[in-house]
Amino acid sequence: MSDTHKEIDEASGVETTGHTWDGIKELNNPLPRWWLFVFYGTIIWAVIYMIFMPAIPALPGTGMTNTPGLRGHSDRALVAEDMAKLRAERAAAASQLTTASLDEIESNLSIQQFALAMGESAFGDNCATCHGAGGRGAKGYPMLADDIWLWDGMLDGIETTIRHGIRHTEDPDTRLSAMPAFGRDGLLSRTEIDDLVQYVLSVSGRSANAAAVSRAAPIFAQQCSSCHGTDAKGNRQLGAPNLTDNEWLFGGEPRDIQQTIYNARNAHMPAWQGRLDDTTIKALAVYVHSLGGGEK
């Protein structure tokens, strides 16, 4: 409104702006001083921040990301510095852990705690996707929180498995075994495989068809005993599982066993050597060893 035609609200005695909405007139009240001070303060702070801190994005094509600021502040550099400090603090414990035996780790509480904490963190980042939180496993992925070991349950053996993997073709030292696909490759007939299923159920202490077990005994001796043993208790040197303990990686139902014999189950575990450093691999081995009451 012009100074010559000021309109004063009768109820409040305050000048109006001249704007009206549905009969409601807007009063020309000044902004609170505290609000103005805060607003002006934020502007001043923003200007100071832009001068001292990285703030203004660079134009496309200039090769820069933003103005560096007078302080030269960099979150990336600070993180790198913190990581370097952390590595330096861990260096002594890491050096001890890498060369320590199981007895030395168990007798040294500080190394043991360091290894378990580091191993648990690395397990969650790299292993839990397949083996589950806490190593509880899943169908097709071994449970690590028990005392059933397919290859080797000693600390050095677990470290070897982690380091070189299982059937990891890019590592010449990988754990390697191959079960034939007796059905898919035509090595046995479906009837013979069905009889073998009954035989496996029998040696694992479960009810089975006696006639089928009798028919399958010579087939098992000829086709399976070279890996699983004549007593069906397996062979860790070959990674052949014990068939008498009623523990099943791919399921223990007759249909699961039939599929294992028919198609074979040659699962893969990656080799972590080259992906993880020696200290992390050793810490993982200690953690896994502790989960399953590892062997000595």
Nearest partner of 178 among 267, 291, 289, 288, judged by Cα: 267
Residues 24 and 35 sit within 8 Å (Cβ to Cβ):
no
**Inter-helix orientation angle 109-126/75-99, to 10°:** 120
DSSP secondary structure string for all residues of 71-140: T---HHHHHHHHHHHHHHHHHHHHHHHHH--HHHHHH-HHHHHHHHHHHHHHHHHHTHHHH-GGG--BTT
pLDDT (tens digit per residue) in 225-248 = 999 999 999 999 888 999 999 999
What is the model's pLDDT at position 25?
Answer: 85
Q: For tokens 């921040």, what's the residue? A: 49
- Alpha-carbon span 286 to 199, nearest angstrom: 37
What is the model's pLDDT at position 198?
Answer: 96
On the question of pLDDT at 2 being above 60, the answer is no
On the question of pLDDT at 77 being above 90, the answer is no
Band of residue 295 on the pLDDT scale cut at 50, 70, 90: confident
- Alpha-carbon span 93 to 279, nearest angstrom: 9
State pTM to two decimals.
0.68
pLDDT (tens digit per residue) in 10-50 = 778 888 888 888 888 888 888 899 999 999 999 999 999 98
What is the model's pLDDT at position 180?
Answer: 93
What is the model's pLDDT at position 34?
Answer: 95
For the chain, what is the mean pLDDT? 89
Q: Which residue has the higher pLDDT, 148 or 6?
A: 148
Of 54-68, 93-107, 143-157, 224-238, the poorest mean pLDDT is in: 54-68
On the question of pLDDT at 140 being above 80, the answer is yes
Band of residue 4 on the pLDDT scale cut at 50, 70, 90: low
Q: What percent of the chain stands above pLDDT 90?
A: 52
What tokens does 160 get? 């070897």
Of 67-76, 217-226, 248-257, the poorest mean pLDDT is in: 67-76
Q: Rounded mean pLDDT of 113-125?
A: 91
What is the model's pLDDT at position 111?
Answer: 87
What is the model's pLDDT at position 3?
Answer: 57
- Alpha-carbon span 20 to 25, nearest angstrom: 4
What is the model's pLDDT at position 199?
Answer: 97
List strand residue ranges (DSSP E) for the chain, in order: 16-21, 24-27
